[in-house]
Amino acid sequence: MLRITRRNFTVLAAAALLTRHASGQGSAASSPITRAIPSTGERIPVVGLGTASVFDSDDERTRLAAAAVIQALVGAGGRVIDTASSYGDAEVVVGDAVAAAGLRDKVFVATKLEVPDAAELKRSLARLKVAKVDLLQLHNVRDARQSLAQFMAWKGQGLCRYIGITSTFHGDFAAIEGVLGREKPDFVQIDYSLDDREAEKRILPLAAEVKAGVLTALPFGRGRLFRAVSGKEIPDWAKEFADSWAQFFLKYLLADERVTAVIPGTSSAAHMADNLGAMRGRLPDPDQRKRMVDFIGNL
């Protein structure tokens, strides 16, 4: 039997998956899981696309990959694309791909600024080819006293629909907690994976308290999780909710309803289709989540 892993998940299988979703075959295919953004109730699909380190070069190969990945995302019912002004040329690549395909109304575009600077925002909007973004985030917050007043002003001016803060460093969680509790942004984006669960204890409870949506960056633990299961089959008890290791890892996160969306990065349309499978079908129950933690912890 072929072992379903990220390494051997083929483009042919991805194409079949997308065709099935597009045609609405089966109840799971027609019902992607969505979550409400707490501050407004607007619902978004729970699996999106991260662009860090995958679309940072403005060359033909990257552009072709981005176009295919974004088409795969939208074709299977996904919407969220997360990028940043500091991700090389990712904003340019994403902006051109979305505009060329006429998909602006089909996607939820999130970007990040390193500082609350009007010139940086203007540059990001131009690179993304948009008049406004759906979510504007202050990237890598390190100061618990950080004000989001400028971001709130931009939101009031219609330059973004939501504002947020981000960090993928545990050393900055105290700063994230301070800003999240005081400023109450619409979103917080944090590093959260099956083998790195500090956010469960510190960030997710506070996000729920202040009604902030949660985006989870690096849901595969910077590749650690795939390396840990290399050469292994998905356990039989997990096959009722996951068809691949990617879905196993993503569904662990999505089973926590405080998570609004996961945003794994990929430059592969096949991997994008695999990831999107996590927003269909059932999610693991609490006992299965505990079993998932034990399984990975014992590898």
- Residue 47's closest CA among 83, 14, 10, 73? 73
What's the rounded Cα separation, in Å, for the pair 270 and 249? 17
Measured CA to CA, the distance from residue 274 to residue 277 in angstroms comes to 5
Which structure tokens are listed for 299?
């590898």
Catalytic residue among 87, 162, 192, 252: 87
CA dihedral in degrees (145, 147, 148, 152; nearest 10)?
A: 140
Report the amino acid identity of residue 42. Answer: E
Spell out the alpha helix ranges (H) of the chain: 11-23, 27-30, 60-75, 90-100, 118-128, 149-156, 173-183, 198-210, 224-228, 245-254, 269-276, 286-297
**Hey, what are 216's tokens?**
């989870």
Contacts 24+ apart (CB under 8 A), 25-32: 28/280, 28/281, 29/280, 31/280, 32/76, 32/77, 32/78, 32/276, 32/279, 32/280
**87 catalytic residue (yes or no):** yes
What are φ and ψ of residue 45, in 5° steps?
-65, 145
β-sheet with 187-191: strand ranges across: 49-50, 80-82, 108-113, 133-138, 160-167, 187-191, 213-217, 261-262
Tokens of 149: 């007043």
Catalytic machinery residues: 87
